Structure 1
Amino acid sequence: MEHATVLLVDDEQGLLDLLTFTLSKYGIGNIVTATTAQQAMEILLQRDISLIVLDIMLPDGDGFDVCEKMRNITEAPILFLTAKNQDIHKIKGFELGADDYITKPFNPTEVAARVQVHLKRMQRVQIVSRAVYDFGYFAVHKKSGQLFVQGVEVPCAPMEFLLLTFLCEHVNLIFTASELYEKVWQPYQTGDEKTVVIHISRLRKKIEPDPKNPQFLINIKGLGYKLVRREGYTR
């Protein structure tokens, strides 16, 4: 993680200084900061950013809008940092591509620990492996952390890729949302089954010919989700 670069975005300079100090104690030395949405986007276009901690309330823009713009140019994990703790805000953040949600007031060591976890997960995605899961219509290359749909590479956020890889490794097996959360997310971050449901929906938009009528990532009523192969698409 010594080569990872973390972008902190918040309009409170004191908070940025505190997080920078805490992250450095955790061995994360490459840290850049921004106090506005414009500064954050400029940095993101100029630097190779590994992870973003993003405040929702910024002086020149809404963090939700900024997150959506960021997702157009990077698949780096995005951790929302905000005083809003309503479920509707969390759901909106996840739908726009956020990977985690931290509510103020917070313990800075908790933020550092979560940053470490997400950076380690990114490394896991990039771990050398010979595994290629080919479903005909789409293929998952675990070695390079890539998703290809009809031969075209499709960006896939780290948690989406880890969830899809887990399902590929357990094809045709049924998992409840809580089991998927436990296997893929826990024990490293707090949350609930809604996180899984939102990521399932995002994956379907990428790997399904018709997301509203899923053929691969299906829901077995009363039992859970499973990933299946389809003869018409198998190579």
Structure 2
Amino acid sequence: MSDPFVTVVLIEDDPHICRYVRMSLQEEAMRVLDVNTGQEGIAMTASARPDLVIVNLGLPDIDGLDVIRQLREWSDVPIVVLSGRTRDEEKVAALNAGADDYLTKPFSVAELEARIRALLRRQNRCVIAESATVSFGSITVDLVARSVQCDREIVHLTPLEYRLLVALVRHAGCVMTHHQLLQEVWGPSHAENAHYLRIYMGHLRHKLERNPAQPEHIVTETGVGYRLVGVR
């Protein structure tokens, strides 16, 4: 990562992990501000206005979920959870609280850096006008014309399939939980109907993936939701 002005707030109470992450991200030309309590992390985020926050859930003063909720009351900064909690319910709780991504310990720093890059790309896309055209693989989505092409041939999607694809595009690189997708595409009254999601996700993969059984772009985060990868 070549941008020397990317600032990351790291909220982590384990000094070994803190040092490991800080040194790794600094090698990628990022400025890392590390603190070891949730309250310090909230204050640091408010004062430094970072490009991204990394937060552990098991903090000594307040739970990381509370940190995420408090940050989301006034900030849309990308948040990555770095936690030893591995249960699906805990991942879903963090994502529903407002986190953008979740990485479990032990972790690969290369994967952490890749997910940070994806979130920063997404953040940059958020300021692009609604006329943006996005691509992944051989697929191009024109958000103004509301059209989808594969190798320059029109792909016919139903209105629900298109809304589902747009939801994934707008959160490209990030995990969207089943609950989030159902609310965004079908509305609150269908927020628990996960079978709808499986059916329509299968339709999308059949129309957009080269091998629907082994998708390259619309990937499953087991027990949590889906992620669109490879958007450029």
TM over 0.5: yes
The correspondence for 2:161, drawn from 163, 175, 196, is: 175
Residues 44-96 of structure 1 deviation map (CA, whole Å, 9 limit, x = unaligned): 22121211110000000111111111111210111111111111001111110
Report the secondary structure of 1:33's partner residue: strand
Q: Does 2:21 correspond to 1:44? A: no
| CA drift at 1:200 | 2.6
User: Given residue 85 of structure 1, which amino acid in structure 2 is its aligned partner?
Assistant: T
CA distance in 2: counterparts of 1:51 and 1:196, whole angstroms: 20
Kept after mapping to 1: 8 A contact 2:96/2:177: no
Question: Who is 1:153 aligned against?
Answer: none
Question: Who is 1:231 aligned against?
Answer: none
The correspondence for 1:25, drawn from 6, 24, 27, is: 27
Alignment of 1:157-196 (within 5 A): 169=146, 173-175=159-161, 188=173, 195-196=176-177
Question: Who is 1:4 aligned against?
Answer: 6
| CA drift at 1:24 | 1.8
User: Given residue 47 of structure 1, which amino acid in structure 2 is its aligned partner?
Assistant: A
Alpha carbons of structure 1 residues 221 and 185: separation in structure 2 relative to 1, 3 Å = closer
Q: Does 2:70 correspond to 1:93? A: no
CA distance in 2: counterparts of 1:181 and 1:130, whole angstroms: 13
Report the secondary structure of 1:57's partner residue: coil
The correspondence for 2:179, drawn from 185, 198, 215, is: 198
Residues 173-204 of structure 1 deviation map (CA, whole Å, 9 limit, x = unaligned): 33299967875667x56x6xxx3423235647
Question: Who is 2:82 aligned against?
Answer: 81
Q: Does 2:212 correspond to 1:212? A: no
Alpha carbons of structure 1 residues 34 and 182: separation in structure 2 relative to 1, 3 Å = same
Alpha carbons of structure 1 residues 9 and 71: separation in structure 2 relative to 1, 3 Å = same
Residue correspondences, number: 179
TM-score (norm 2): 0.63
Residues 100-145 of structure 1 deviation map (CA, whole Å, 9 limit, x = unaligned): 1100011122212211111121112223x363xxxxxxxxxx7xxx
Kept after mapping to 1: 8 A contact 2:92/2:177: no
CA distance in 1: counterparts of 2:123 and 2:198, whole angstroms: 32
CA distance in 1: counterparts of 2:178 and 2:197, whole angstroms: 14
| CA drift at 1:43 | 0.7
Unpaired runs of 5+ residues, structure 1, are 132-141, 143-164, 227-235
Question: Who is 1:156 aligned against?
Answer: none
Identical-residue share of aligned pairs (%): 21
